[in-house]
C-alpha cells in the first residue's frame, strides 16, 4: 500500500542585505518598498512595472496613502526601512498582488503588522502566507518578542488570517480614525509568561 505524501514543512528565506531585502515564502516574494520603488510608483504604473520587473495591475492597492507615509518615514531615516512596507509579488505569475509590512520599528519588544491582497488573488491563502512571512521575519530580530495586528471589530477574513497564524484575540479598542477595532497578538514561541 502506498504511503500518503507528507506535507512539506515550509521555511521562509530572509535576505537581510538591506539593498535587496526580501522575504521569500512558498508562493510569494515580499520585496522591501524602497525609496527608489516609491519614486517610480509616484511617476506612474509603467515606471513602477519597469523598476520592479513584474506586472502591476491597475488599482493594485487601496493603501497608497499608507505607502506615502512609509515613503516619508524612510526619507527621514532609511536605516529602519525594513520595519515599514513590503510589496507582495506572486512568484509564479511575476505579478504584484498587494502590500504588507510593519507599522514601524519594535517598541518594547512589539511590532505591528498589516497586509492587503488584490481582489483577484484573495481566498487563496496568500494573505496567510504573507503574514506568516512577516511574523517569522520579525522573530529573526532578537528584540522582537510579540507581533500585534488590528482588525475591524467583526468576524472577517483578516481575523481568519490572524487565527490561522496562531494569533489570539486580546481586546476591543476604539481608534479615533478607524473606529472600533479588535487587537490580536502572537508571542514569540518559548517566552515564559510571569506567574
Smallest CA-to-CA distance from 152 within 143, 162, 144 is with 162
Q: What is the 3-state secondary structure (H, E, C) of 87-100?
A: EEEECCCCEEEEEE
For the entire predicted model, the pTM comes to 0.85
Residue 37: beta bridge partners? none
Q: Give pLDDT < 70 ranges for the chain.
A: 1-20, 191-195
**Domains and their CATH numbers in the chain:** 13-143 (3.40.630)
100-155 confidence digits (pLDDT tens)? 999 999 999 999 999 999 999 999 999 999 999 999 999 999 999 999 999 999 99
Amino acid at each position: 500500500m502506498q504511503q500518503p505524501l507528507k506535507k512539506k514543512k515550509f521555511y521562509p528565506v530572509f535576505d537581510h542585505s538591506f539593498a535587496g531585502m526580501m522575504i521569500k515564502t512558498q508562493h510569494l516574494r515580499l520585496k522591501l518598498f524602497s525609496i527608489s520603488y516609491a519614486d517610480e510608483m509616484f511617476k506612474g504604473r509603467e515606471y513602477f512595472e519597469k523598476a520592479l520587473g513584474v506586472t502591476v495591475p491597475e488599482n493594485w492597492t487601496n493603501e497608497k496613502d499608507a505607502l506615502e507615509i512609509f515613503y516619508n518615514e524612510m526619507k527621514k531615516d532609511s536605516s529602519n526601512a525594513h520595519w515599514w512596507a513590503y510589496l507582495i509579488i506572486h512568484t509564479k505569475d511575476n505579478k504584484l498582488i498587494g502590500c504588507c509590512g510593519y507599522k514601524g520599528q519594535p517598541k518594547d519588544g512589539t511590532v505591528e503588522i498589516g497586509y492587503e491582497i488584490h481582489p483577484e488573488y484573495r481566498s487563496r491563502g496568500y494573505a496567510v502566507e504573507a503574514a506568516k512571512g512577516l511574523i517569522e521575519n520579525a522573530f529573526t530580530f532578537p528584540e522582537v518578542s510579540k507581533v500585534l495586528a488590528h482588525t475591524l471589530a467583526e468576524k472577517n477574513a483578516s481575523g481568519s488570517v490572524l487565527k490561522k497564524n496562531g494569533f489570539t484575540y486580546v481586546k476591543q479598542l476604539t481608534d479615533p480614525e478607524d473606529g472600533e477595532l479588535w487587537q490580536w497578538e502572537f508571542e514569540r514561541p518559548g517566552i515564559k509568561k510571569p506567574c
